[in-house]
Amino acid sequence: MSQLETTPRTRLSRADRRQQLLDVARTLIEEDGADAVTLALVAEKAGVSKPMAYDHFETRTGLLLALLEEADRHYEGVARARIAVAPETVDAIAEIIAEAYIACALEAGPAAAALTAAIEANGDARDVGRASRDLHARQFAEAFAPVLPEGDARTHLIFIGLVAAANTLCAELTAGRITERAATETLTHLLTTSIAPLIP
């Protein structure tokens, strides 16, 4: 039986209502999987009308995109703040990226893996998944910019591969098949060994 009860309707600001709907959607994904989540169900559990949910997200894909963007912003905020004061070395940057990425996956919980799977399965949402992948690849590139030479055409594809590896590790972690330490150490190793050979 779902532990998510219908929330009594209260007057919230537009931003707070949007956040409430996102929180309800994330809980539904954790309890029942992403396939079960619809805007109508999210509206019902949040105690609001269907038109209000559609006004915020327009489509189910829009809701998935908003959830993914929220996770992306969280990761970027954590990593950027730590990198700003870190030594400009491959080892230090790799460790920060790995710890932030894995920690955010843990905080997102099962919803992260379910959301990723739903986006991959949804034709309309695949562009969302690719956009997220490219965003993380750019974030990785920005983090390593102080130690990498400019204009190396190899880096973009390498970072895309590293994002795919990071997402696989996060999926294994949230499924309980590996530990946080194993995920973090493996991602740190992959980042370090991929980036170090690019440095003259």
Question: Please, what's the b/e burial string for 48-71 (b: 16 or more CB within 10 A of its CB; e: otherwise)?
Answer: beeebbbebbeebbbbbbbbbeeb
Distance CA 43, CA 64 (A): 15
Question: Do 67 and 117 have their domain in common?
Answer: yes
User: Could you tell me if residue 6 is inside a domain?
Assistant: no
User: DSSP label at 7?
Assistant: P
- The CATH number that applies at residue 82 is 1.10.357.10
User: Which pLDDT belongs to residue 163?
Assistant: 94
**Ordered per-residue pLDDT tens for the chain, 200 residues:** 455 555 555 678 999 999 999 999 988 987 887 778 899 999 999 999 999 999 999 988 788 778 877 777 777 777 888 888 999 999 999 999 999 999 888 877 666 666 666 666 666 666 767 777 888 899 899 999 999 988 777 899 999 999 999 989 988 988 889 999 999 999 999 999 999 999 88
Domain range for 155: 61-198
User: Which pLDDT belongs to residue 64?
Assistant: 79
Question: Do 76 and 126 have their domain in common?
Answer: yes
User: Could you tell me if residue 84 is inside a domain?
Assistant: yes
Give residue 7's identity as a one-letter amino acid code: T
Question: Do 42 and 71 have their domain in common?
Answer: no
User: Which pLDDT belongs to residue 1?
Assistant: 45
Q: How many domains are contained in the chain?
A: 2
User: Could you tell me if residue 44 is inside a domain?
Assistant: yes
Question: Do 177 and 157 have their domain in common?
Answer: yes
